[in-house]
Amino acid sequence: MLKVAILGGSGYTGAELFRLLQQHREVEVTVITSERFSGQRVSDVFLNIRDKTLRFEPLRLEALIHRAELFFLCLPHKTSQEIVAGLNKAGKRVIDLSADYRLKSAGVYRRWYNTGHRFPDLLKKAVYGLPEVNRERIRNASIVANPGCYPTGAILGLAPIIDRDIIDTDSIIIDSKSGVSGAGRSPALPFMFSEVNESVRAYAITTHRHIPEIEQELSLISGKKIKVIFTPHLIPMDRGILTTIYVRLRRKITYSEIRKLFMKHYHDEPFVRILEDGQYPSTKGVRDSNYCDISVFIDKRGDHHTLIIVNAIDNLMKGASGQAVQNMNIMYSFDETEGLMDNPPFP
């Protein structure tokens, strides 16, 4: 059994990760940390957890480092930098769910996160953990930077066509709508029930920290510098992200041809589903699952035809903890779908 630790286990991603690892046949969770709930049983903090033995511990790396082979970090941005470096020095493998190792440039990180990065060499060493793009690099990685939730939907929507001479890459508009759990579990006024309920609002227009992550990965796939217009929205539900992408076509191409490109690109991917003609992705259709559902449409009105790509993910699953488990499965040559194949509930 692979011994794993969850550092920062009392937030939404940590709790979801622990739930998934409980049903994984190849894994034993030996450590889970929380400063706030230190000493309490995990099952007393999260009533959906059946394990009655494991207790939250304080994060004291020197005391924990020998008790696991793989460390999942579900810590706040800026907090993971030093811990990842310490684990890497000790020869431990890491899957970091924060943003601290996603960006390759320390300068870009400073600009968007308003703090310096103390380990720029490790930024280059870290592998961006989107399996559909970097599967072979993930296999041997010592540091995997688990993608952000919004970038997962955006990149999966554009990856099949971004490196083809089909679209005007200067015209990419991404509109995403996320459930409230994407903001984390710490209490904050904008995310209180009375503030969120019966309301939809945009936020962080032109300033959202996932913008450089989206642009970095699309640029690496396409081989040229990509800029996007990205607008996130908060919607009054617990979980899920619906992303709609608009991009101009450079030449006339049929719906059937576009759909075949997406089908071929994701043919062997266990967690990407290209929906049938006329079907629309929905957050309920992927809730509690690691799936990304995608549909494509073409608006042929006007002088320029527009490709419209719609996809849905669960922000806590394919957008965070489910993807982290998928990355672990790849790193340790487990069945990639192990622990992740439960069908989404309905309704």
DSSP string, 205-255: TTT-TTHHHHHHHHHHHHTS----EEEEEE-SSSS-EEEEEEEEBSS---H
- What is the distance between the alpha carbons of residues 332 and 26, in angstroms, rounded to a whole number? 10
Per residue, the 3-state secondary structure of 41-70, as one string, reads EHHHHCCCCCCCCCECECCCHHHHHHHCCE
Which of 17, 85, 149, 296 is flagged as catalytic?
149
Closest-CA residue to 178 (of 231, 99, 105): 231
Closest-CA residue to 217 (of 295, 132, 308, 292): 132
- What is the distance between the alpha carbons of residues 68 and 245, in angstroms, rounded to a whole number? 41
Bridge pairing between strands 229-234 and 201-202? antiparallel
- What CA–CA distances, in Å, run from 46 to 10, 11, 40? 9, 10, 11
- Respond yes or no: is residue 149 known to be catalytic: yes
- What CA–CA distances, in Å, run from 253 to 157, 250, 257, 258, 279? 18, 9, 7, 7, 20
- What is the distance between the alpha carbons of residues 168 and 249, in angstroms, rounded to a whole number? 6
- What is the distance between the alpha carbons of residues 124 and 105, in angstroms, rounded to a whole number? 8
Residue 268 φ/ψ, nearest 5 degrees: -105, 10
Are 233 and 190 spatial neighbours (Cβ–Cβ below 8 Å)? no
Are 291 and 313 spatial neighbours (Cβ–Cβ below 8 Å)? yes
Q: Which residues are catalytic?
A: 149
